[in-house]
Structure 1
Amino acid sequence: MTERNEEAVWLAFRGGSETAFTEIYNAYFKVLYHYGYHIASDENLVKDCIQNLFIELWKSRQNLSATTSIKFYLFRAMRRKLYQTVRRDKPLLSIDPLTDTYDTEVNFSPEFNLIASEISAQQRQQIEQAINRLSNRQKEAITLLYIEGLSYAEISEIMTLKVRTVYNLVHTALENLRAYLNQPATAIWLTVGYLLYP
């Protein structure tokens, strides 16, 4: 969707258009799923959160604010919904947004093996290990920046961090990945981007 089209679709949705609601759902379910999965690594939990998020959006549509970026709006809402759900329903699943430790592994999405079939098993394992050595916030920041194409300012709002902190997270993540993989940053993201998202 173009920015102008997004505004029109969002306006129609807020006005009660089921067609616009369906269009938004179909356009963003997959990216919300991938984003949520990189945070929680629980397929059913993430899907439930997306469903509940859209139910809540539909019920409160008339009170929603205008937006020029549906993706940004949904990512911010999805992150909040995930953390609320985990705190309430799965307190043993640690995804504290303020924690910057190395104790949580990324479990790649179910499509990972199919997507990565053209990459050698050794390369795939190296990339998985390198990403899993990043901190939780570094993983989230690089996913939003390089995979989802959001700006540093948008990421700072979604993650409730200062823009400078997001820059530092991304810089540190790239340096760590470059050290782990012994590759230039560009080569890393061409490969990692291909692996993480079809």
Structure 2
Amino acid sequence: MSNIGNYENLDDMELWEDLRNNDRDALNEIYRRYIDVLYAYGNRISNDHGLVEDSIQEVFITIWEKRQKIKKTTSVKFYLFKSLKRRIFRNLKSSKKFGFQYDFSESSLAAKLRTEPTTETLDEVTIKKIHQSLNQLTNRQKEIIYLRFYARLEYPEIAEVMGLTVKATYKLLARAIQRLKDNFRFTLIFL
């Protein structure tokens, strides 16, 4: 066990290994690091905030309960995203509340774009146009855009989360980007 007391300085793999060795503080640090992105991702899948919160809690409870049986992972973030998506779908199915919510809200999009060095100077009109373009994508296209550019998952990780092959992941993302470009051009013409 690393258990040096300062978990913020440990990388994800060290925390994961400590967690597997019964260190509850390592689980708490993983939770602290990923709760915000997991909640944001969960709310893209379902607009039932309570269900998303419960699903996140269930993921972490399951990880703790099965900590000695869980395998090493190359990406804690990927493991959590995949587990959360599976849990939300299971909970939606049992509650019969299927309702996909891949909606890039204008305010969250604006906040995200202003934190990126290359896009921090975008004006409100451009952000609104990007928002409108994103919301014209299909749910699958929105999901892949979210996973690649917001969650920053790698292609094999996205493929597994979405139940696709890596090749299909590349194709879906390319189509989504092309449709986004086309939508953005169309929006510029008519606004």
- Tell me by how many angstroms 1:180 deviates: 1.1
Indicate the structure whose relative CO is greater, using CA pairs within 8 Å and at least 6 residues apart. Answer: 1
1:6 aligns with 2:2: no
- For residue 125 of structure 1, what is the aligned residue in structure 2? 128
Give the corresponding residue for 1:72.
Answer: 78
List aligned pairs for 1:1-198, cutoff 5 A.
5-89=11-95, 91-95=96-100, 106=103, 108=105, 112=108, 115=111, 120-182=123-185
Contact 1:36 1:78 in 2 (8 A): yes
Q: Quick one: structure 1 residues 121 and 43, their matched pair in 2 at CA, closer, same or farther if it must change by over 3 Å? A: farther
Identity %, equivalent residues: 33
Listed as ranges, the gaps of 5+ residues in structure 2 are 1-6, 115-120, 187-191
Given the two structures, how large is their TM-score scaled by the length of structure 2? Answer: 0.79
Q: Unaligned regions of 5+ residues in structure 1, if any? A: 96-103, 184-198
The answer (yes or no) to whether the contact 2:18–2:26 under 8 Å persists in 1 is yes
The superposition leaves residues 158-190 of structure 1 with CA deviations (integer Å, 9 ceiling, x where unpaired) of 11101111111111111111111129xxxxxxx
CA radius of gyration, larger in: 2
1:93 deviates by 2.7
- Answer yes or no: is the 8 Å Cα contact 2:144–2:173 preserved in 1: yes
CA distance in 1, matches of 2:128, 2:35: 28
Q: How many residues align?
A: 172
Runs of 4+ in 1 over 4 A off after TM superposition: 116-121
Contact 1:41 1:106 in 2 (8 A): no
Q: CA RMSD in A?
A: 2.7
Aligned equivalents of 2:27 and 2:145: distance in 1? 29
SS in structure 1 at match of 2:11? helix
Is the 2:104–2:134 contact (alpha carbons within 8 Å) kept by the matching residues of 1?
A: no
